[in-house]
Amino acid sequence: MDTTARGGETAQTLDRGLRLLHLVADAPGGLTVTEAATRLGVGRAVVYRLVGALAAHGMLRRDGDGRLRLGAGVLHLARRAQPLLAEGALPALRRLAEQAGATAHLTVVEGGEGVALAVVEPSWTSFHVAYRTGARHPLERGAAGRAILAGRAGAAGPVSTAGELQSGAYGVAAPVLGVPGLEASVGVVALAPLDAELVGAQVLAAATAVATALS
C-alpha cells in the first residue's frame, strides 16, 4: 500500500471517530454499537475498533448496559478550551458592556446548565451588576439560558427577562450560532430595565461578533 492510500485510510478513520463522538454527544441515553454502526453506515467491527481507540484516550466509555457514552477525556478537553473561548469573546464583550452600560457575559452549556464563562463590567457606570465568572443557572431561567434554548429551536433574536435569576435584575441575551460544537449566548444584565430594541440590537451584534471570532 502506498503512502497516499495509507493517508487516505487514516483520514477516513479520523473522520469516522469524530463523527462517532458527535453522535454519542447528541444521544442523551447513549448509543449501542449497532445503533452507532447504522448511523455511521459502517459495520459493527469498524465501530468496535473506533471505540477501542477512543476509549484508550478517555473519549468514550461503555456504561453498565454496554451503551456508548462520552468519557472524562472530553470534559478535560472542554475545560482546556474554555480559556480560549473566553479570550476570543472578550473584545466583543468589552464593546457590548460599554455600549449598553451593563455587565456583559458569555454563557456556555455545561452539564445541562448555563455557566458564565466570561464577564465584563462597564467602566463608566456608577452601579452595575456584579456577575461572577463560573456562576451556574438552569437554562430555563434567565435571559442567557433562554437564549440558548431559543438557539436550539433555530431562533436567533434577542431574549429579555426580568428578575428570574436575581430580584431587580434585568437581562437581554442572544444565542451564539454557527460555531460547531458550541452552545452559548451573549448577553447583558443590569439593575434597571433595558431598552429591549436598542440593547437587543447591541447584544445581537455582539453575539454575531463572538461567533465570527470563535469560528
Regions in the chain scoring below 50 on pLDDT? 1
pLDDT in tens, 31-48: 999 999 999 999 999 999
With a CB cutoff of 8 Å and minimum separation 6, the contacts of 204 are 156, 157, 158, 174
pTM of the model: 0.73
The one-character DSSP state at 128 is -
**What are 137-140's contacts with CB under 8 Å, separation 24+?**
137/113, 137/165, 138/113, 138/114, 139/109, 139/112, 139/113, 139/114
Please give the single-letter amino acid code of residue 11: A
pLDDT for the residue numbered 5: 62
pLDDT for the residue numbered 173: 98
How many of the other CB atoms lie within 10 Å of CB of 189?
27
pLDDT for the residue numbered 78: 74
Where do we find the cell 472530553? Answer: 74
DSSP codes joined into one string, 57-71 = TTSEEE-TTS-EEE-
